[in-house]
A and B are shown apart, each in its own frame.
Chain A
Amino acid sequence: MPKHETPLLDQLESGPWPSFVSDLKRQAESRTQKQNDIEYQIPVDVVDDLLGLLELSYVEKEVHWKHGGIVGVFGYGGGVIGRYCDQPQKFPGVAHFHTVRVNQPAGKFYKTDFLRQLADLWDFRGSGVTNMHGSTGDIILLGTTTPQLEEIFFELTHNMNQDLGGSGSNLRTPESCLGESRCEWSCYDAQELCYQLTMEYQDELHRPAFPYKFKFKFDGCPNGCVASIARSDLSFIGTWRDDIRIDQEAVAAYVGGEIQPNGGAHAGKDWGPFDIQKEVIDLCPTKCMWMEGGKLKINDRECTRCMHCLNVMPRALRIGNDRGLSILAGAKAPILDGAQMGSLLLPFVKGEEPYDAIKEVIENIWDWWMEEGKNRERLGETMKRQGFQKLLEVTGIPADPRHVEHPRFTPYIFWKEEEVPGGFERDIADYRSRHPK
């Protein structure tokens, strides 16, 4: 028997898509059933009360979680988010309902024994409710009490060799796509760079010392499956500098209809026979491709590596061999001054260990932003406030036409004194000697 009636939530059990309400009910029921076998360390009815509280929100159309609360594990300033409900008498099981962020492995591959151990730990010391995964990429463990936090951290680190993720004004848990592990388009080992930088900057991840949050995300290619260009303060996107590798036999097979275009992605509708002119060459944004004597030609020097032709003909076209990555800076969601896309900062760097050139860019940016950034100001906003030139100055990266969509509209150039012969100190007497009053 459920503890609370949930007539509104019950209506979210119907329909084909996996129902989170059914999942939570299953979790609630299992705790009730197993309570004699497991010495649950937080209230047995935690998930029942979660459903009850959520039903109340569905009735009232208002949220019932209180604002924050500073809890955590000793020596860390992030990784745990305090959460308390504002109806603890009615729903004592969720009076405390803190979140624990667990740093996911890059690319989110798992062995089942690891997740089984985590499931057992979380069943025992928390609500058993998870998010696989949170928006930033962590494994999210939803709902435990304050006394359990150190115990969970102790077991994670001692028994599972596993650390927490980031929260608050620190380096947030870096995230990568699955990279070279299962994708032919990955231009660098996105998972390895993600792991190495996560390890290099453990202090910045666990101990908030920044003006606001800071995110790293790693996309293996310009397709951008982890959306780094839209949501990370530093976005690392794979690219190449040489020629697309062409297999002309495979091109002919696509043209002849022997291979389905786009890896079969359009198989659900009859789009007619594949037309390489219409579907590839005409859609190329730089018009750098053409057919000649039955062969596909590419003027690679004019190619901007948008990936469209590779996406359409993955068996005929492959990324180049001189591979690396571009670094873009300053992306963020709209809070506060509007959304920002990442701006290209470093057009190309090799993605090879020990990644010193990449670390230099990161640390130069942090030195500047930690000094100049205002409270709760993302890197992109500091960039807007102080200008892109400042970013180039602090990173020592020379200005390049690749940095702009087009040159500036306004002629209001902030010349520096040292750029103008004679400097800015003017002598009015000298002026008046030529221009009497």
Chain B
Amino acid sequence: MAFISSGYNPDKPMENRITDIGPRHFTEFLPPVIKNNKGKWLWHEIIEPGVLMHKAESGDEVYSVRVGTARIMGVETLREVLDIADKHCDGYVRWTTRNNIEFMVDSKDKVQPLKDDLLSRKFDGGSYKFPIGGTGAGMTNIVHTQGWIHCHTPATDASGTVKVVMDELFEEFGQMRMPAQLRISMACCLNMCGAVHCSDIAILGYHRKPPAIDHEEVDNLCEIPLAVAACPTAAIRPTKTTITDRKTGEEKSVKTVAIKNERCMFCGNCYTMCPALPLTDAEGDGLVIMAGGKVSNRIDAPKFSKVVVAFIPNETPRWPSLAKCMRQMVDAYVKGAKKYERFGHWAERIGWERFFEVTGLEFTHHLIDDFRDPAYFTWRQTTNFKF
């Protein structure tokens, strides 16, 4: 493996350096039918699950075939996507916000050959490479984070949990039989890179044990005042302790922190500031399920998701309890909701007491909010409830 230079000269880093040029301008990458009709679209129609048709003032039509992906994509699969785009779409392709790919063609007769090609491609393990769907009143792809594959703070794996749920609900991706769209999101810790807190259903990795304290390293790796200040519940205080030096065997006093365990809410913010306070733990870590949020302003304001399952353990590799719970929730929603009702609309209409009844989920004390002032506004302050 010989090092091959790009032309960069490490002795003169500023020589020929190009910086602050930003991304490429998007108009370089628009297919002709899109470029020609930009800002002049009239209406659209989902002609079948996974296939959208947009009609322009000019009479032009663009057909977009939407396919799901795992988000993790090696360049071998990426090149296959590009080959398909070259073959069917004149060398253009786009991705959606929710990790789907859209292959666009400018006439209807090009749709079927494209679909046939996409569905004919499978991985060696047997799964589809490019399942078609993700449109309309159905379930689209799950947006998610890195998990154990690349992040340092996760409480679970992201790709694995998503794979399991998408397998369980696969038929919903390819059809549109729901009352409204169902947006599922996954974040592997409370930091929520995926901002899942406004999803119809959110899967969230969560720790349940306070950090372990590596007394030997706290003062070497961390600014103790920053670690103390990082705690939102003031559970961390500076202290001193005596440890045995690993090399010399001598007892020595070191600066470190102490944690009041009963105040810890397991957010991991201290670990972000101080690597000597790890949280990951096989027994402690698992999943929280939240539901009933949305980001659209349609009919009513955007809503936060609410915690409906306090804990599901990390049952690797296929998380059967997670799959079962998702199935229960989705089936109850499909059965009970009225047309146009999002998951949260349905839960609020029938009442949360009914929600737990029809989904079969257990209501425990963990689901009653006790975090600061906003908690009060979530308690029932009326005699209007259902038996």
The reply to whether B275 and A19 form a contact with Cβ atoms under 8 Å apart is: no
With A and B bound together, what is the CA distance between A306 and B300 in angstroms?
Answer: 7
A83–B7 touching, CB < 8 Å:
no
Expressed in whole angstroms, the minimum distance between the Cβ of B226 and any Cβ of chain A is 8
Nearest A residue to B83, CB-CB? A112
Those of A131-169 within 8 Å (CB) of chain B: 131-137, 142-143, 147, 150-155, 157-158, 161-163
Determine which of B34, B73, B197, B339 lies in contact with A109 in the assembled complex, contact meaning CB atoms within 8 Å: B34
- A 33-72 binary contact with B (CB < 8 Å = 1; else 0): 0000001110110010010001001111111111110000
Inter-chain CA distance A137–B148, complex, in Å, is 20
CB < 8 Å neighbour of A132 from B30, B47, B99: B99
User: In the complex, what's the smallest C-beta–C-beta distance from B17 to chain A, in angstroms?
Assistant: 8
Q: Is the CB of A199 within 8 A of B22?
A: yes
Tally B residues with Cβ within 8 Å of A.
143
**Contact (Cβ within 8 A) A18 B300:** no
| A15/B49 contact (C-beta < 8 A), A115-B78, A129-B72, A183-B41 known | no
Which partner residue on chain A sits nearest B13 by CB separation?
A: A74
B179 to chain A, nearest CB (A): 8
The 8 Å CB contact of B38, one of A133, A155, A181, is: A181
A265 to B175, CA, bound (A): 10
Q: Does any Cβ of B come within 8 Å of A248's Cβ?
A: no
* Cα distance A337–B231 in the bound complex, in angstroms: 11
Verify if B367 is at the interface (C-beta below 8 Å from A): no
Name the CB-closest residue of B to A232: B195
Given contacts A103-B23, A116-B79, A195-B23, contact A111 B137 (CB under 8 A): no
Q: Write out, one digit per residue, whether chain A residues 311-335 have a CB within 8 A of any chain B CB (1) or not (0).
A: 1101100100000000000000111
Given that A63-B153, A230-B198, A333-B192 are known contacts, is A180 also in contact with B46, CB under 8 Å in the complex? no
Contact B267 A335 (CB under 8 A): yes
The B-contacting residues of A in range 236-292, CB under 8 angstroms, are 237, 260, 262-269, 271, 279, 283, 285
A267-B6 contact, Cβ under 8 Å, with A17-B170, A229-B302, A339-B304: no
CB of A394 within 8 Å of the partner chain: no
A185 CA to B232 CA, complexed, in Å: 41
B158 → A minimal CB distance (Å): 10
Q: Is the CB of B8 within 8 A of A163?
A: no
Q: B residues within 8 A CB of A225?
A: 97
Known: A110-B92, A191-B26, A269-B177. A20 touches B21 (CB 8 A): no
- Give the size category of A's interface with B: 35 or more
Q: Mark A121-135, 1 if CB is under 8 A from B, else 0.
A: 011000011111111
**Contact A67:B152 (CB < 8 A) given known A20-B72, A111-B91, A376-B230:** yes
B residues less than 8 Å from A151 (CB atoms): 5-6, 8
Q: Which residues of B contact A334 (CB under 8 A)?
A: 190, 192, 197
Q: Is B291 an interface residue (CB 8 A)?
A: no
Contact residue among B6, B95, B127, B128 (Cβ-Cβ distance under 8 Å from A154) = B6
- Tell which of B131, B148, B267, B282 touches A16, judged by Cβ atoms closer than 8 Å: B131
Contacts A68-B152, A112-B86, A268-B137 given; indicate if A130 touches B42 (C-beta within 8 A). no
Q: Which residues from chain A contact B82 at a C-beta distance below 8 Å?
A: 112, 115-116, 119
Main DSSP-derived SS at the B contact region: loop
With a CB–CB cut-off of 8 A, which chain A residues contact B71? 20, 131-133
Q: Which residues of A contact B127 (CB under 8 A)?
A: 13-19, 22
**Segment 328-375 of B: residues with Cβ below 8 Å from A:** 339-340, 371-372, 374
Q: Is the CB of B97 within 8 A of A112?
A: no
- Whether the pair A23, B123 counts as a contact (CB closer than 8 A) is yes
State whether B195 touches A20 (Cβ < 8 A): no
Q: Can you report 13 residue pairs joining A to B where beta carbons are below 8 Å apart?
A: A15-B164, A16-B127, A18-B129, A23-B123, A57-B157, A76-B19, A150-B13, A182-B64, A231-B195, A268-B176, A315-B43, A336-B232, A341-B302
Q: Interface of A with B (CB < 8 Å)?
A: 8-27, 30, 39-41, 43-44, 47, 50, 54, 57-68, 74-76, 83, 97, 99, 103-116, 119-120, 122-123, 128-137, 142-143, 147, 150-155, 157-158, 161-163, 175, 177-178, 180-184, 186, 189, 191, 195, 198-199, 202-203, 206, 222-227, 229-231, 237, 260, 262-269, 271, 279, 283, 285, 305-308, 311-312, 314-315, 318, 333-339, 341, 375-376
